[in-house]
Amino acid sequence: MVEYSIMKKGKLFIKKAFYTSIIAFLLASCASTQSGDSNKTSKKTDQTQEISEPEPSPAEIFIQTINTFSLKFTKSPDKTKKGKEFNSAFEVTVYNKNQQPEAGFDVCFLYPTGKNGFKLEYDTVIVTTNENGIASFNPGVINFAAKDQVIAYPDIPGFLTFDGDYKTIPLPYAEADFLVESDIAAKGAIMFVFEYTEGGKPSKNSYQILSALRKKGVSMIGNAPISDDTSYITASKQKIYKDNYEYVEDQFGYLIGGTVKFANPVEANEDGTYTAHLVSEIYSIDMKTGNVVYEETNEYTSTGTNWSKAVESCKEELTAIVVDSIMYGL
């Protein structure tokens, strides 16, 4: 791809220079004809210009060479849980242009290493392929939940600029899922997630989210002791945590709080259908420390043949998104 780009630019330059020479020659001939004397003489001037192809840089040569190889995850582990290791290593096989395994090839693995607040942080490790062309890597115990990927690509030498996004450079790469579930199933949780009516009033603690979490294996979960008091909805997170803690202390690992609201009134469409748009704002507090350890905003839009079906479908889909985010984000 790089070689083609360089050749293309070279051809365009030659073509442009050729046309410039032709135009200059015609103008000169025209001027000579208009001011010529009785003894017209024609002089034929050959103008030749040698255009040399630009020499590829070391970075371009590296990219051309490295793209004759391909990388493939030939083994990747199943999901694990927060506080545990993966059940196997991530293995990448490198193949040369003849589709044979390449030994002695430096593979760089980019993978999540932790969280800064609620955002994942990343690091890299370089592993050299063995005689079978395999580079193997295991990140060890994972102390955070995540739903992300491990990226494998060739080690990049110093003359290439790299900003952390492997897709900014046209290199071969491979991806594998990096799935770490929260420990919420083991620790349990209490819920204070209120659903709102279309008119903007708090209605009830979300049974849909609670039920969906139970289906994911979170058996020790229930409504928070203050769930019947809607005045807490406007209270601070720490007030909600403190008053719940007076009842349950740290018998449950987490407090899951927040709201599910209509972003706007359900819309009646011209074709007779209805469109609902819901937004969820969910947070979680560690019941031992009182720290907010998770925050996420999600939204979903759904269309149905009537008001009820549009809202029901929207709630169902948004619930699935919220629960998945909790299971891999908390």
* Each residue's pLDDT tens digit, 182-217: 999 999 999 999 999 999 999 999 999 999 999 999
The residues spanned by each domain of the chain are 64-181, 184-329
Residue with tokens 């004759």: 68
Query: According to the model, what pLDDT value does residue 164 have?
Result: 58
Higher per-residue confidence, 60 vs 75: 75
CA dihedral 77, 80, 86, 87 (to 10 degrees): -70
Task: Count the helix, strand and coil residues of the chain and give each as a percent rounded to the nearest 5.
Answer: 30, 35, 35
Helices and strands in the chain, H and E counts: 6, 15
User: What gap in Å lies between CA 162 and CA 142, rounded to an integer?
Assistant: 27
Indicate the SS3 state at residue 140.
coil
Calculate the average pLDDT of the chain. 85
User: What gap in Å lies between CA 298 and CA 325, rounded to an integer?
Assistant: 9
| Whether the predicted pLDDT of 238 surpasses 70 | yes
184-329 folds as Rossmann fold (3.40.50)
Higher per-residue confidence, 14 vs 222: 222
Superfamily of domain 64-181: Immunoglobulins (2.60.40.10)
- Main-chain phi, psi angles of 140, to 5 degrees: 80, -155
Higher per-residue confidence, 34 vs 293: 293
Rg (alpha carbons) of the chain, rounded to whole number = 32
Q: What is the pLDDT of residues 39-65, one digit of tens each?
A: 444 444 455 556 777 888 888 888 888
Query: According to the model, what pLDDT value does residue 56 have?
Result: 87
Helices 58-66 & 2-34, crossing angle to 10 degrees? Answer: 130
